[in-house]
Amino acid sequence: MHHSLLLGVFMTTGTGTLFVVATPIGNLQDISPRALEVLRSVALIAAEDTRHSARLMQHFGIGTPMTACHDHNERDKGERLVARLLAGDDLALISDAGTPLISDPGYHLVRQAREAGVRVSPLPGACALIAALSAAGLPSDRFAFEGFLPAKSHGRRQRLQALADESRTWMVYEAPHRLLECLDDMCEILGAERRVVLARELTKTFETLRSAPIAELADWVRGDSDQQRGECVLVVEGASVAESEEVSGETLRVLDALLQELPVKQAARLAAQITGERKNQLYQLALDRGTKNA
């Protein structure tokens, strides 16, 4: 056997695995049997908040020891955890809810583990942004996640300006007490008509998904204080490519007429010949229009 291959076999058998385990975002049943098995069998669970996760462990009768690994101690803690992995222990990383590293701690530990040559294996599961996108009814073939917007108005407005021409569907996490301010800023910067889906309390008793133009959505939230509680994701429709003034209205008319009769690829090629625009750009535009009109 080749020397480096031998070494690889030795390393994967000699060292432990870091399992990155998604936990529920509300409904406790949203955890996979495999995730429970891993949480039961590892030597140690690194949790964002051990007290918070104790409830989950108790619910499923899991007695594995836990240690705190959060934003404030992750770098130091990471070194010690990697030493245990190198010594052969399997570990699991969890956060308070959903998928670790997604607006949650874990990045430094995963990075340190990978740099040390430790196997890192994901156990996929709940993630609020993916759950919101999957039910929002906005184009999902390409999308962007912006994490939390800045908490202060000035920073938030700057970020919104930078996102105004984004043509993909994009998502942000927002704290309930800032939801209304955020929608008002969006209304001003993205325009009252841009569609936004508010996905609130997903998988929980008061789960709500509401899709409306921003101004309407903001009025609805203003009029119902219950909507300003709980956890939420905002899914924002991308700017239409026509809005971001990349092609003329005439080109769009040609493309739309051809799309009525022909498959996307042919329509884009012919539209490019007729209008002199780039074929690739029209192809992408044709795909976007297909999903928006669907």
Shortest approach of ligand SAM to residue 234 CB, angstroms? Answer: 8
283 is a contact residue toward ligand SAM (CB under 6 A): no
Of 59-67, 122-130, 159-167, 208-216: span binding ligand SAM (CB under 6 A): 122-130
128 binds ligand SAM (CB under 6 A): yes
The dihedral through the CA atoms of 230, 211, 193, 190 has a sign that is: positive
Measured CA to CA, the distance from residue 271 to residue 136 in angstroms comes to 31
CB of 204 to ligand SAM, least distance (A): 6
Footprint of ligand SAM on residues 68-107 (CB under 6 A)?
95, 97-99, 102-104
Q: Is 232 in the site for ligand SAM (CB under 6 A)?
A: yes
Which residues, 6+ apart, have CB-to-CB distance to 113 below 8 Å?
Answer: 18, 78, 81, 82, 85, 120
- Between 130 and 218, whose beta carbon lies closer to ligand SAM? 130
Residues in the chain: 294
Q: Which stretch binds ligand SAM (CB under 6 A): 170-178, 188-196, 212-220, 271-279?
A: 170-178
CB-based contacts of 152, cutoff 8 Å, min separation 6: none
Q: CA 129, 67, 103: angle at the middle one, nearest 5?
A: 20
Identity of the residue, 99 or 112, whose beta carbon is nearer to ligand SAM in the bound complex: 99
Nearer to ligand SAM (CB atom), residue 77 or residue 200: 200
Determine the residue with CB nearest ligand SAM.
98
Is the separation of the CB atoms in 268 and 279 below 8 Å? yes
DSSP one-letter code for 42: S
In angstroms, what CA-CA distances link 178 with 21, 184, 227? 29, 10, 11
Smallest separation, CB 146 to ligand SAM (Å): 11
- The window from 36-44, 49-57, 127-135, 221-229 that contacts ligand SAM (CB under 6 A) reads 127-135
Restricting to residues 241-270, name those near ligand SAM by CB under 6 A: none
Q: And the tokens for 41?
A: 């069998």
DSSP letters for 146-173: EEEPPSSHHHHHHHHHHHTT--SEEEEE
> What does the alpha-carbon distance between residue 51 and residue 43 come to, in Å, rounded to a whole number?
18
Q: Which stretch binds ligand SAM (CB under 6 A): 71-79, 121-129, 208-216, 277-285?
A: 121-129
Shortest CB 282 distance to ligand SAM, Å:
36
Extract the runs of DSSP E, i.e. beta strands, from the chain: 17-21, 44-47, 66-68, 91-94, 119-123, 143-148, 169-174, 195-200, 208-213, 232-236
What x-and-dash track marks residues 32-71 binding ligand SAM by CB under 6 A? ----------------------------------------
- Between 180 and 219, how does the x/- string for binding to ligand SAM read (CB under 6 A)? -------------------xxxxxx---------------
In the complex, the residues that contact ligand SAM under the rule CB under 6 A are 25-26, 95, 97-99, 102-104, 127-129, 173-175, 199-204, 231-233
